[in-house]
Structure 1
Amino acid sequence: METTETFESLVRAEFTPKSIYLNTASNGLLPTRTVTALHEAALLRAEGRPLLALHEDVEACRAAYARLAGVPATRVAAGASVAAHTGVIAASLPPGAEVLTAEGDFTSVLNPFHVRGDLKVRAVPVERIAESVRPGTALVAVSAAQSADGRVADLAAVREAARTHGARTYVDHSQAAGWLPVDAAAHDFTACVSYKFLLGPHGAAFLTVPEDFGGLTPGLAGWVAGERPWDSCYGPVAELAHSARRFDLTPALFTYAGLRRSLELLEEIGVPALHEHAVALADRFRAGLVDLGREPLPAPGSAIVSVPGLGARQEELSRAGIEVSDRAGNLRAAFHLYNTAADVDRLLDALSD
């Protein structure tokens, strides 16, 4: 874990927001080193220089995310979106299979199961998802932290319930990885986008799969999914990668060039320090809301806080230099490494007016 001095010095060196930015659940801020890497990558194209080095960034990101997620890099596929990863998982299920989901979860985690048309998709409140696994449930699909209100799923209970009934688990870490410790090894499949708490550009997402691939078919495989990609550019791929790379999508090279530096920063600071910092700020905000006579939606231990009835103030707050989200009428604030106690107090002051 980084010392307080090192934590603060790294943040000062990397972030220069022009507002009080409390909207990481929508988009994380880009570190200075990431912006530099994006610019350098774009210059390669602009100047007609080789791009081969950018493919090395993809592999560096795969390895860094694997360390963050607690799995070998051979279990990590590099893609573009959670929806695409969910689609591969949905395509693997037999007709009539039951998929258990959380009510109101993010669409990318849900919709590919619904559009199949021949699956039994059942939704329950996220607090009841573990107890709702039953014989015949084929897959439990849930976000580690809910996008709308920050509620954190009891993933240990979900895992145990799924094992008891022979179901597989699929967890979306998009609103968790980067502040909440991740244990992808505990689940069959997990996914995560790059542009929220991982502080990367848009256009990258990771999928983790079991060593035996969990029955998935690489239905989106192109040349990068070959065991020897540069020998797989023409005609059918003769030999798919022996690792999770068989589920790779052609990478957005600039994105991965930038993301590599964002992931390096997260590793320098450490997720335990990030978790302590972000949750402490969220708890400070929750306590201040109670003092104002406002009750946030219950989401203990989360870095994301949603307040009923205040979403309509989002535009007003933005004009005042405070960036938050309006989600279904709720004001949503999300806290990360670049936020401070002063940011929390400024938002509370604005809400007291």
Structure 2
Amino acid sequence: MEFRSQFPLLATNPGLIYFDSGATSQKPQAVLDAEVAHYVECNAPTGRSLYPLARNATEAFAGARESLARFIGVADVDGVVFTSGTTMGINLVAFAWARANMSPGDVVVSTMAEHHANLVPWQILAEEKGIRLELVRLNPNSTLDLSHLEEILERGGVKLVCVGHVSNVTATLNPIDRIVEMAKRFGAKVLLDGAQSAGHMPIDVTKLGVDFFALSGHKMLGPMGTGILYVSPDRFDEMGVMFGGGDMINRVTPERAWFKPMPTRLEAGTQNVAGAVALAAAANWLESFPGGLRGVEEHVRMLGDYAWDRLVRIPSIKLLGPGPGSDSAMSLVSFTFDHKGASNRHRVRDMDLAVRLGERGICVRSGVFCAQPLVDHFYGLEGATRASFHVYNTLDDVDRLVDAIANRR
């Protein structure tokens, strides 16, 4: 089936091929309708005012939380915190949990493959609080070196392991079941960055056994500035606060404040209620895709496998990541012609390639993808070009991309 017609931006630009969903996805009409309908039909404060319109808004906000809890396999909706996206979710863990529960010398483990959002907060906390940050090495094919993770855990002192579910550069699909088992064996908690997995595959955080899970709405067909952080009920009593303000308090005196329980203690101020409603609509749209989220996963993997198979035949191309197989989600393919092994005849800067493709109506991303330790330090590259896929892409789109690259001169 063809789903492009359900996405207004693509339907009104028939010649456009959008391969930048790893940065932000397009939105189906159902999501846009849900956000507009909230403003038109029940825009009012939530949780405080008592008139019928406000009660309707409060119910809509609660319904969105329930839908998103179901989407990630959560029974206790109090574990679903609304955020502006994965970056905010990870920062909430850093500054509302780790700052309250970690001491100088305690260890946070991340990896060399992480997005800056899963590195920089820990670097800040290390400087502020004296915790130590250890990074897991990568194997030559960019998968995690789990023996190095175990070595770090065996040294002791590890309180939290932070890892991406799917790499935003290589599409590496990390073995979360093994990572969780290792971390729990040594008493460490686990934070999973789901920015590149949510909306691309089924997610059940209860089965995964993680303590925290963050996702971004705008990468899963939802609005920009939306997301959720899952907090395991086992961590509820350990959560501090990050932001102070209205709605997250039970009582305030001139001297101090008493905070509400989860999730409201982490949702200070006026929330993006219309965005939350639209994000729930995006989750519902994905669940209604043929085959559900498993169908989405299979469609995206088909595109990624096909793109890799065609791209690898182009002279002087360097493809990043493990490639087709169980180690990769194949939701994106990153490549470059600007590397030491490329011939002068075929070499082209990634920025120039992205501009040329854009002039042909093909939208890709170039740069380091907010992952400099991976692109720069691991691969030794100044950048790369990335094509990332979603439900509105087709094999014909991939053919047009590859043909444009092969005939770029």
**Equivalent in the alignment of 2:175:** 154
Name the aligned partner's letter for residue 107 of structure 2.
Answer: E
Are 1:318 and 2:330 an aligned pair? no
Are 1:74 and 2:113 an aligned pair? no
Contact 2:166 2:329 in 1 (8 A): no
Q: Give distance in 1, aligned partners of 2:173 and 2:145.
A: 12
1:130 is aligned, of 128, 146, 149, to 146
Instruction: Give the deviation of 1:274 after TM superposition.
Output: 0.1
1:327 is aligned, of 364, 367, 372, to 367
Return closer, same or farther for 1:45/1:61 CA change in 2, 3 Å cut-off. closer
Q: Which moved more, 1:10-19 or 1:256-265?
A: 10-19
TM-score (norm 2): 0.75
Unaligned runs of 5+ residues in structure 1 are: none
Q: Give distance in 1, aligned partners of 2:64 and 2:176.
A: 25
**Equivalent in the alignment of 1:349:** 403
1:202 is paired with a residue whose SS is coil
Instruction: Give the deviation of 1:332 after TM superposition.
Output: 0.6
Instruction: Give the deviation of 1:144 after TM superposition.
Output: 0.7
Q: Give distance in 1, aligned partners of 2:44 and 2:227.
A: 28
2:114 is paired with a residue whose SS is coil
Contact 2:169 2:320 in 1 (8 A): no
Return closer, same or farther for 1:285/1:111 CA change in 2, 3 Å cut-off. same
**Equivalent in the alignment of 2:342:** none
Return closer, same or farther for 1:307/1:45 CA change in 2, 3 Å cut-off. same
**Equivalent in the alignment of 2:332:** 304
**Equivalent in the alignment of 1:336:** 390
How many residue pairs get matched? 340
Are 1:256 and 2:249 an aligned pair? no
Contact 1:296 1:307 in 2 (8 A): yes
Q: Give distance in 2, aligned partners of 1:239 and 1:220.
A: 11
**Equivalent in the alignment of 2:240:** 217
Instruction: Give the deviation of 1:222 after TM superposition.
Output: 4.0
Are 1:183 and 2:223 an aligned pair? no
Unaligned runs of 5+ residues in structure 2 are: 46-51, 323-327, 338-348, 369-382
Contact 1:44 1:51 in 2 (8 A): no
Instruction: Give the deviation of 1:37 after TM superposition.
Output: 2.8
2:306 is aligned, of 284, 292, 310, to 284
Q: Give distance in 2, aligned partners of 1:47 and 1:30.
A: 24
Contact 2:44 2:54 in 1 (8 A): no
Name the aligned partner's letter for residue 364 of structure 2.
Answer: V
Are 1:95 and 2:92 an aligned pair? no
Name the aligned partner's letter for residue 122 of structure 2.
Answer: F
Q: Give distance in 1, aligned partners of 2:167 and 2:44.
A: 43
Name the aligned partner's letter for residue 282 of structure 1.
Answer: G
Instruction: Give the deviation of 1:182 after TM superposition.
Output: 1.9
Q: Which moved more, 1:126-135 or 1:289-298?
A: 126-135
Deviations 1:181-234 (A, max 9, x none): 2232210111111111x21111122111121325221332544435xxxx8799
Q: Give distance in 2, aligned partners of 1:301 and 1:88.
A: 27
TM-score (norm 1): 0.87
**Equivalent in the alignment of 1:12:** 5
Return closer, same or farther for 1:144/1:94 CA change in 2, 3 Å cut-off. same
Return closer, same or farther for 1:349/1:62 CA change in 2, 3 Å cut-off. same
| RMSD, matched Cα | 2.8
Contact 2:259 2:265 in 1 (8 A): no
Return closer, same or farther for 1:24/1:54 CA change in 2, 3 Å cut-off. farther
**Equivalent in the alignment of 1:195:** 218
Are 1:39 and 2:36 an aligned pair? yes
- Map 1:222-237 → 2, pairs under 5 A: 222-225=245-248
Q: Give distance in 2, aligned partners of 1:266 and 1:155.
A: 23
Contact 2:332 2:388 in 1 (8 A): yes
2:278 is paired with a residue whose SS is helix
**Equivalent in the alignment of 1:58:** 61
**Equivalent in the alignment of 2:133:** 121
Q: Give distance in 2, aligned partners of 1:344 and 1:298.
A: 19
Identity %: 23
Instruction: Give the deviation of 1:160 after TM superposition.
Output: 1.3
Q: Give distance in 2, aligned partners of 1:47 and 1:57.
A: 11
**Equivalent in the alignment of 1:272:** 294
